[in-house]
A and B are shown apart, each in its own frame.
Chain A
Amino acid sequence: MIERVLENWLTNASERSYQVPFCQALTGMGQKVIHSTRHCAMEMGKDIIAQDDDGYIHVYQLKSLKGRKLTQSEYRSDIAPQLNSLILGKPIHPSIPENSKVKFAYIVMSGDINEEASREIDDLNRTLEQSNILTRVKTITFGELISLFSKNLHKFGPREPIHSKLFLELFLSNGKDFLPKEKLFSLLEVGMACDVPPTKTQTNEIISSAALICSLTASNYQMESNWFAEFECWGVYTICLMQFSQKWELSSKSIQTELDIALKSMYMSLEGLIDECLEREENITEGNALADSLLATYRRSHLLGLASLYLLWSETIGNIQQEKTLKIMSFIHSQIGKIAIWGESCVPFIFSYILYCRRSNEETSANKIIKELITTIIHRNSKGSNFPCPSPYYSATDCISLQFSLPDSEVREDFTNSSYTLYPLILLMTQFGLRNELVLSET
């Protein structure tokens, strides 16, 4: 079953879909991934740059063929022009030493290559040899990718029926809703479980297999351009990776590459979401417009938090584009006054905005929203309230089901006079020097 799922996934996958598990597989093979493209306008002609233990550089160009065969004409029109850059263009990257040599240039394709195209590559390699150029062009085709990916998945993928069921549920989801994170956590927990401390090889295999499971899970969400679900998927993977590392007391250096790849995937998903947001301007409606009129304020809370997070993250990694930053800031400011919280699981999104305000010297806005948040939670969880604020253990979907008494609502608790986030918010107010206002709020 695993192989059928893999084949199905790879046949439909875009370059972006199989890029991360491919990077993780390279790490598992002992290569250090130096660069992995964001597939942005500034293409360097090299999707992945990796370095082996001998210091040689390997460059990879990914192609999505959807299971087809690469024809000679396609090779000449599409691939050949990029090969010059792949072979002869010196990879420019701060982490690549000046005198590094490109040993192999790979064309990685989710399909096969026909004989004529294969012959052209052989001819090219002969020409390179005769010209005393070190680099050789190799191909990694569909079957080789399947072998590479399935090797570890057989060992560490789902085996028990219950886990196979979870896996299939995730893989076959429609991709439009929120990611069912509990299911993914369960699956990764099982896949990354060890009875004894894993060896280095086993660690690489486990991590590689977990990345592949996440990619398979994220595939339908990617097809729907469900950026937030992708973001959460790689977030779950990152947490599981850190948990695994902590459990077996692995050094941070040993998982740094994998962590970087996962965090980059998260950032890219977030960027995709923000770009779409800016493109759509004020039209944030999704699905049935009438039903959505009841959900739009919650979507705004999501976007406010995620846009704030994106700005903070971009600043941290030094990816600041002035014009885009101004547009995002304008978008953030336009959402204030139009947001609502579905439950306490919304608080992290608001907190993200508070952090952004504090970083941008907009303390007044930050202070105002903390006070409003505290007031809202107290008011909604007071005795007699018929619009409670469920705890952070309930997702947005659960809270909305409760609010509108939708069928299959799973919320059974009473939230009167209880809150998980009130105390930390009050501490935050104190830290921000708003103790006096807190007293006033209480009265």
Chain B
Amino acid sequence: MLPHFYSANQKLRERIEESIRLRSQEKSGAFNIPAKILFEGDQFGVIRDNGDEDISPLKKLEGSTVITKEDMSNNKKIIGETIDEIAEQFAKQQSSMILSELSKTPNQIDGKDKPLVDAILEALEVMLIDFDENGSAIMPTLVMNPVLFEKAKDIFVLADKDPKIKNKFDSLMERKKREWNDRESTRKLVD
């Protein structure tokens, strides 16, 4: 073994891996999805309010790249490019996995032949929305493709101006607040 700089190598490796993780989350839009570490076991399960159980095994995501000796001499460039490249690979796999899992859930909305506003309201209808101590809704993140995003970003502005849409939205929020209150009051504090 040549003089290794082992501890420095390990710390730099951790920093690079963290950068890849954050960049891949940005690219996949998964940065708002809560992350948990699984300390034991090899499966992950979700039990929904309606009693549905969903068990899934762990899935491996991996990314790789080739770095040549010549590349190594320009380390700043190669690190930046490698982080981007691997993050891109992870992001694609993550998005594909998330969409695949989502498609198995019963909460799917068919947006075809429907105004976008109605599709969004229907999507919010099936989602759990929490509220903070001031009673304001903690709105969920809607992930959509860039084309749809351009159309959707003005929806909430329109919603304020159009009384019909505003009414629908306000009733939805009231229902969600009641659901949240029910959840909070039936929450088990002690087993």
Q: Is the CB of B8 within 8 A of A406?
A: yes
Q: Is the CB of A287 within 8 A of B4?
A: yes
- Point out the residues of chain A lying under 8 angstroms from B72, CB to CB: 285, 289, 292-293, 296
Q: Is the CB of A293 within 8 A of B9?
A: no
A169: Cβ under 8 A from any B Cβ: no
Given that A291-B16, A293-B72 are contacting pairs, would A286 and B67 also be in contact in the complex, using a CB cutoff of 8 Å? Answer: no
Q: Which of B5, B10, B82 contacts A290 (CB 8 A)?
A: B82
Q: How large is the interface on B (under 10, 10 to 19, 20 to 34, 35 or more residues)?
A: 20 to 34
Report the Cα distance A280→B67, complex, angstroms: 18
- Point out the residues of chain A lying under 8 angstroms from B16, CB to CB: 288, 290-291
Q: Is the CB of A284 within 8 A of B2?
A: yes
B11: Cβ under 8 A from any A Cβ: yes
Q: Which residue of A lies closest to B75 (CB)?
A: A293
Instruction: Kindly specify which of A23-31, A100-108, A121-129, A393-401 makes contact with the partner chain.
Output: A393-401
A72: Cβ under 8 A from any B Cβ: no
Report the Cα distance A225→B78, complex, angstroms: 30
Instruction: Kindly specify which of A298-306, A356-364, A429-437 makes contact with the partner chain.
Output: A298-306
Residue-wise, chain A 213-231 has the 8 Å CB interface mask toward B (1 for contact) of 0000000000011111000
B10–chain A nearest beta-carbon distance, Å: 7
B3: Cβ under 8 A from any A Cβ: yes
Q: Is the CB of B9 within 8 A of A291?
A: yes
Q: Is the CB of A295 within 8 A of B79?
A: no
A43: Cβ under 8 A from any B Cβ: no
Q: Which A401-443 residues have C-beta < 8 A from chain B?
A: 401, 404, 406-407
Q: Which residue of B lies closest to A401 (CB)?
A: B8
Q: Given A397-B5, A406-B12, 15 other A-B contacts at CB below 8 A?
A: A226-B4, A273-B2, A283-B69, A284-B2, A288-B13, A290-B78, A292-B5, A293-B75, A299-B3, A302-B2, A303-B2, A404-B11, A406-B8, A406-B11, A407-B11
**A interface vs B, CB < 8 Å?**
174, 176-178, 224-228, 273, 276-277, 280, 282-296, 298-299, 302-303, 338, 396-397, 400-401, 404, 406-407
**B interface vs A, CB < 8 Å?**
1-13, 15-16, 67, 69, 71-73, 75, 78-79, 82
